[in-house]
Structure 1
Amino acid sequence: MAVLPRTLMSFAIMTMLIELAMAATHTVGGPNGGWDATTDLQTWVSSQTFLVGDNLNFQYSPSHNVLEVSKADYDSCQGSNSIQAYNGGSTTIPLSSPGKRYFICGTIGHCSQGMKLEVDTSLATTSAPPPTASPAANLAPQKSPSTTPAPSPDTPLASSLAPETSSAAPSPAQSPELAFSPTPNAIVIPSSESPTSISRTGSSPEPSAASSLNNKGSLTLGFGIVMMLFLAF
């Protein structure tokens, strides 16, 4: 619990040091004039910015003085009820609080000649330091957004997951086993035997009479050779 008061005290000291470092001393009527009847004090005060912590410095001759008065006495140039009275040729007044303060010269006739000053003091604005991120937030891994596109609602899930297959049929040049005949109604299959036409309707072909005789002759010749070899042994 002792950390909080210590922190507040440190902050207050820091604020005071900042205000002291930023404090400015405004010489009335300067740099080319002063607290006298020949200086345009209204133009000078309109060009200044007065902040809490600044100082107001009056430099004047022995024929003048400085009176701090109320708003009503300022407007009527009355110095008999002054809040504070200063003389001596050099007066420095600290502007320690915000608000308006009114000053006139108490010498008769000088206030009506322009030796009057209204000072509006405002609070100094100090920027707070930016918040620092905690170490845990800095060490937390950052998730990168997924680049996988979501499936379209118009596309079925099964079609999006199915592998792509090629629907192109192999060309005659890629399939050496099939050769198309010049006629569109038959497919010719190359073979060592005699070619046989295959109907496109899918029915089994019937062997011709010549091919049947050739097969019977081959069987008879083979049987005769076997019998001769059997008798020889």
Structure 2
Amino acid sequence: MNVFASLVERLADLLQPLFSTTATAAAIVLFTLLVRAAVHPLSRAAARGQKARTRLAPQLAAIRKKHAKNPERMQKAIAELHAEEKVSPLAGCLPSLLQAPAFFLMFHLFSSGRMAGHSLFAAPLGDHYADALAHGGVFGPAGLVYLVLFAIVGAVATYNYLRARRQPAPVAVEPGQPGAAVAAGMARYLPLLSFATLISVAVVPLAAALYIVTSTTWTAVERAFLYRDMPQAASVVTAA
């Protein structure tokens, strides 16, 4: 945790001439961008893997149909196909898994009181939305900072949702197969989870909210770029 804290503090010192009293907030945003940039190669690999799995969907469907009564043989055949095509079913999870430690360590830092004395304009970085409401209300100085964050998150969530609706995600489970209904439901409602970020921003310290908003925005831009030639692939549900 000390490593992360020291990095944020050093970044804040470097940004002080440009951002003055908001230097720490700017350092958190920059730190988040550095974390996301570090895992971007894995995101690119995950995108390539997702496109490959989509390309292999007809073969996977054939395997499931052929070995419908032999689950063990089905899984073995799917694994062999993935190995032959050099596709990892877990590649899409790696970027999120690697970001998780950084987020939880930073969340602990943000909640430890080390943000005392630092603010984003009128909103202290260690406070929560409830504090902003208690000191000025929704349209108070601190409340307005949160309204801007909510607007950004809402815009990103709406973009993700509409993009998913325009490009329905194919479900890699044949109708009638076990799990087909669950997979179809996930493909339909998963984009709505983007709106849950609004709740996260409201309940975590403002410093952590900055991390979440920056990371969420990066994810939307990154996916739009990586999946530009196959936008529906970002939300594919796989059963392999």
Say yes or no: TM over 0.5.
no
Q: Which of these two proteins has the greater Rg computed from alpha carbons?
A: 1
If the TM-score is normalised by the length of the shorter chain, which range does it land in? under 0.3
Structure that is richer in helix per residue: 2
Q: Give the TM-score of the pair, scaled to structure 1.
A: 0.22
